[in-house]
Amino acid sequence: MAEKFIFVTGGVCSSLGKGIAAASLGTLLEAHGYKVSMIKIDPYINVDAGTMSPFQHGEVFVTDDGAETDLDLGNYSRFTNAKLSGGNSITTGQIYQEVIRKERKGEYLGKCVQVIPHITDEICQRIYQASAEAEIAIVEVGGTVGDIESIPFLEGCRQIILRKGHANAMTVHLTLVPEVGGELKTKLTQHAVKESLAIGLQPDILLCRSPEPLDSSTKRKIAHFTNVCENAVISAHNEPSHIYRIPLNYRAERLDRLVVEHLGLEVTPLDLSAWEELDRNYRQAGLSLDIGMVGKYIDLPDTYKSIDEALIHAGLSEKLRINIRKIDAEQLEKGEVDPDELFLGISGLLVPGGFGNRGVEGMIHAVHYARRNGLPFFGICLGMQVMVIEFARHVLGIAEANSTEFVENCREPVISLLEEQGRIDILGGSMRLGLSTMELEPTGKFARAYGATEAKEVHRHRYEVNNAYLERLESAGLTISARYSSQNLVEGCEWQGHPFGLGTQAHPEFHSQPVGAHPLFRAFIQAGAEYAGVRQISVR
Ligand code: GLN
């Protein structure tokens, strides 16, 4: 179990950026050389995020061990190197499922099973387990203090602070300080802290989200009313440039020092050089590249969060700013727009993952356009499947080529479930989740991008390329350049004779970091830059 605990809670309202705040604190503590564990508590009743529509909580982030989790785990994975697995994502559903399982097995020895102590004990146990290998556990409690759903979790936090002692466990509370009539208003924060005190949590540090940096008199006022030291009232003002500056902003406010000193840790040197370099790259990036993303949830900002970020990381590593143009696949499907107009100025097209047939024909149009016009294309999961369908239809002339996900009793199932391919012997028809290793064709674009002949990526899909069509696809110019050989599965394909057309069955976006852009996204952005003539970069 970790020795030190930091609970990150939120006040006033949601969407203040608690995930990024917790993750940035993780960045700072790692930069001091400490080993952190990042834990997200989601007070909803769902056991995990896997069954939730993107309309609810945005993207589902998948960990290496195949857990379907909240997108904040994606923030943790981008800002820190903390190991993330299913145990790092705790929900009310999981807690109750386990407590009820134990009750049914008689493990409570006839006791009346109650929220306190049984639910709260289970919560504390899970936090301890998830932080077993770390020195410091950073636990973000989803929702806003005062929500009915989060009360048992906050009570669990209070108990851990009591057990571990105040010198070993602390609360960082993110709150809002809005501007009204040209003045920063502190009343909301005063009330938020009162809510927190009512459930026994005295914030040790306040992160104050505000439109502009907090002046010292506002800080002093907040300190007076909240019983928080003035130097622990931190300005978490809006950052107009990019989110990866947040750790640098927090350092400027001495957040790392406050935490390290409060927890009685040694004040080791802080190395944020990689983040400083990233920020320099952002500032030096003079040119921007337009990338089109053709999907069906384009109105929601968080649906393709990890892909958006992976594109930005790749751009930063090339000193380019990426402007992502979200394109509605259904609009393309209905033929309401002229693709030449729609894709004007775009230097690369990406089709992300997805489920269900809505918008798929529009995605096929987009892939067709990219293939015919030499426009760099990157297909991810569903995006790769659509790439195979398009190729089968328009190059092999199989007009009815489709996936059995979209057409029942499809006559030309180039994509189908393994049992439909008569291959129930291997992985079965359920969702393929988590990490698997792919072997890369040494002369292909995958191997060139990765600089290796093997790569491990996360998966989340049910359907697979139908091997019955492989020979025909390959001989017509769709090269299968990544495979999961032991299971005889296609992992990636590429267009021959095209500057850059790559599809992967995996989700490489989950492994991209701002200080370590993913090689496939980098290769895509390099190809985009070349297409745009921004500069002559040869795609290695
Ligand atoms: N719907 C497809 C499948 O299940 C693709 C899934 C995805 O893109 N994540 O295979």
Give distance in angstroms: CA of 354 to centre of ligand 1.
5
Atom of ligand 1 nearest to the CA of 431: 4
Atom of ligand 1 nearest to the CA of 354: 8
Q: Is 511 in the active site?
A: no
Domain co-membership, 150 together with 64 = yes
- Which phi and psi angles does 41 have, rounded to 5°? -105, 125
Pocket lining: 520 vs ligand 1, CB cutoff 6 Å: no
Pocket lining: 355 vs ligand 1, CB cutoff 6 Å: yes
Q: Is residue 199 part of a domain?
A: yes
Q: Is the pLDDT of residue 534 over 70?
A: no
Which candidate in 507, 511, 518, 530 is catalytic? 507
Q: Is the pLDDT of residue 540 over 70?
A: no
Mean pLDDT for all residues in the chain: 94
State the residue for tokens 């369908």: 389
Domain co-membership, 211 together with 336 = no
pLDDT in tens, 98-139: 999 999 999 999 999 999 999 999 999 999 999 999 999 999
Using CA atoms, how far apart are residues 35 and 26, in angstroms rounded to an integer? 9
Give distance in angstroms: CA of 386 to centre of ligand 1.
10
Q: Is the pLDDT of residue 538 over 50?
A: no
Pocket lining: 461 vs ligand 1, CB cutoff 6 Å: yes
Q: Is the pLDDT of residue 262 over 60?
A: yes
pLDDT band at 17 (very low <50, low <70, confident <90, very high): very high
Q: Is residue 538 part of a domain?
A: no
Q: Is 135 in the active site?
A: no
Give distance in angstroms: CA of 115 to centre of ligand 1.
38
* Mean pLDDT value across residues 299-325: 94
Pocket lining: 381 vs ligand 1, CB cutoff 6 Å: yes
Using CA atoms, how far apart are residues 316 and 330, in angstroms rounded to an integer? 31
Total domain count, the chain: 2
CB 53 within 8 A of CB 302: no
Q: Is residue 31 part of a domain?
A: yes
State the residue range of the domain holding 441: 278-532
Domain co-membership, 318 together with 419 = yes
- Candidates 297, 402, 463: which one to mutate for ligand 1, based on the most atoms within 8 Å of Cβ? 463
Instruction: Give a three-class secondary structure readout of 368-421.
Output: HHHHHHCCCEEEECHHHHHHHHHHHHHCCCCCCEEECCCCCCCCEEEEECCCCC
Q: Is the pLDDT of residue 217 over 90?
A: yes
Give CA 475 to chain center in angstroms: 37
What's this model's pTM, rounded to 2 decimal places?
Answer: 0.94
Q: Which residues of 440-473 are buried (b: 16+ CB within 10 A; e: fewer)?
A: bbeebbbbbbbeeeebebbbbbbbbbbeebbeeb
> How open is the CA angle 310-314-319, to the nearest 5 degrees?
140
Domain co-membership, 89 together with 171 = yes
Pocket lining: 296 vs ligand 1, CB cutoff 6 Å: no
Residue nearest to atom 5 of ligand 1 (CA): 382
Using CA atoms, how far apart are residues 87 and 471, in angstroms rounded to an integer? 42
Using CA atoms, how far apart are residues 491 and 477, in angstroms rounded to an integer? 16
Q: Bridge partners of 180?
A: 183
Give distance in angstroms: CA of 506 to centre of ligand 1.
10
Q: What is the pLDDT of residue 425?
A: 54
* Mean pLDDT value across residues 376-380: 98
Pocket lining: 164 vs ligand 1, CB cutoff 6 Å: no
Give distance in angstroms: CA of 71 to centre of ligand 1.
18
Domain co-membership, 357 together with 235 = no
Question: 62: closest CA among 89, 44, 80?
Answer: 89
Give distance in angstroms: CA of 523 to centre of ligand 1.
23
Task: State what percent of residues in the chain have pLDDT above 70.
Answer: 98
* Mean pLDDT value across residues 340-355: 95
Question: 368: closest CA among 468, 495, 474, 476?
Answer: 495
- Candidates 358, 363, 382: which one to mutate for ligand 1, based on the most atoms within 8 Å of Cβ? 382
| Boundary of a domain, candidates 200, 232, 267 | 267
Pocket lining: 503 vs ligand 1, CB cutoff 6 Å: no
pLDDT band at 419 (very low <50, low <70, confident <90, very high): confident
| Boundary of a domain, candidates 234, 267, 300 | 267
Domain co-membership, 253 together with 292 = no
* Mean pLDDT value across residues 432-459: 96
Helices 151-164 & 120-130, crossing angle to 10 degrees? Answer: 60
Pocket lining: 463 vs ligand 1, CB cutoff 6 Å: yes
Atom of ligand 1 nearest to the CA of 381: 8
Domain co-membership, 100 together with 240 = yes
Reduced to 3 states, what is the DSSP secondary structure of residue 467?
helix
Domain co-membership, 257 together with 313 = no
Give distance in angstroms: CA of 207 to centre of ligand 1.
39
DSSP structural state of residue 351: E
Domain co-membership, 408 together with 442 = yes
For the record, the structure tokens of 63 come out as 């960990």
Domain co-membership, 24 together with 94 = yes
Reduced to 3 states, what is the DSSP secondary structure of residue 442?
coil
Atom of ligand 1 nearest to the CA of 380: 8
Atom of ligand 1 nearest to the CA of 463: 10
Q: Name the more confident of 297 and 293.
A: 293
Pocket lining: 405 vs ligand 1, CB cutoff 6 Å: yes
Give distance in angstroms: CA of 515 to centre of ligand 1.
28
Q: What is the pLDDT of residue 126?
A: 98
For the record, the structure tokens of 94 come out as 């999981």
Question: For the domain that residue 439 is a member of, what is the CATH number?
Answer: 3.40.50.880
Q: Is residue 273 part of a domain?
A: no
Q: Is residue 540 part of a domain?
A: no
Using CA atoms, how far apart are residues 101 and 91, in angstroms rounded to an integer? 16
For the record, the structure tokens of 112 come out as 């009346």
Domain co-membership, 291 together with 431 = yes
Question: For the domain that residue 252 is a member of, what is the CATH number?
Answer: 3.40.50.300
Q: Is the pLDDT of residue 46 over 70?
A: yes
Pocket lining: 460 vs ligand 1, CB cutoff 6 Å: yes
Atom of ligand 1 nearest to the CA of 405: 1
Q: Bridge partners of 490?
A: 483
Q: What is the pLDDT of residue 428?
A: 46
Q: Is residue 231 part of a domain?
A: yes
Q: Is the pLDDT of residue 337 over 80?
A: yes
pLDDT in tens, 151-175: 999 999 999 999 999 999 999 999 9
pLDDT band at 189 (very low <50, low <70, confident <90, very high): very high
Question: 90: closest CA among 50, 133, 145, 139?
Answer: 139
For 428-516, where are the E strands, in sequence order? Answer: 432-440, 454-461, 464-465, 478-484, 489-495, 501-504
Domain co-membership, 489 together with 383 = yes
Alpha carbon distance, N-terminus to C-terminus of the chain: 45
Q: Is 498 in the active site?
A: no
* Mean pLDDT value across residues 272-277: 97
10 Å Cβ neighbour count for 83? 18
Pocket lining: 353 vs ligand 1, CB cutoff 6 Å: yes
- Which phi and psi angles does 262 have, rounded to 5°? -60, -40
* Mean pLDDT value across residues 461-473: 96
- Is 190 buried (19+), middle (13-18) or exposed (0-12) by CB count in 10 A? middle
| Boundary of a domain, candidates 267, 302, 336 | 267
CB 71 within 8 A of CB 302: yes
Which candidate in 30, 464, 509, 530 is catalytic? 509
Give distance in angstroms: CA of 414 to centre of ligand 1.
14
Residue nearest to atom 8 of ligand 1 (CA): 353
Q: What is the dihedral of CA 93, 99, 104, 109, to 10 degrees?
A: -170
Residue nearest to atom 1 of ligand 1 (CA): 355
Using CA atoms, how far apart are residues 145 and 4, in angstroms rounded to an integer? 22
Q: Bridge partners of 41?
A: 90, 141
Which candidate in 59, 381, 457, 459 is catalytic? 381
Q: What is the pLDDT of residue 536?
A: 45
Segment among 101-110, 301-310, 333-342 with least mean pLDDT: 333-342
Pocket lining: 354 vs ligand 1, CB cutoff 6 Å: yes
Give distance in angstroms: CA of 335 to centre of ligand 1.
24
Using CA atoms, how far apart are residues 303 and 298, in angstroms rounded to an integer? 8
Atom of ligand 1 nearest to the CA of 355: 1
CB 449 within 8 A of CB 519: yes
10 Å Cβ neighbour count for 211? 11
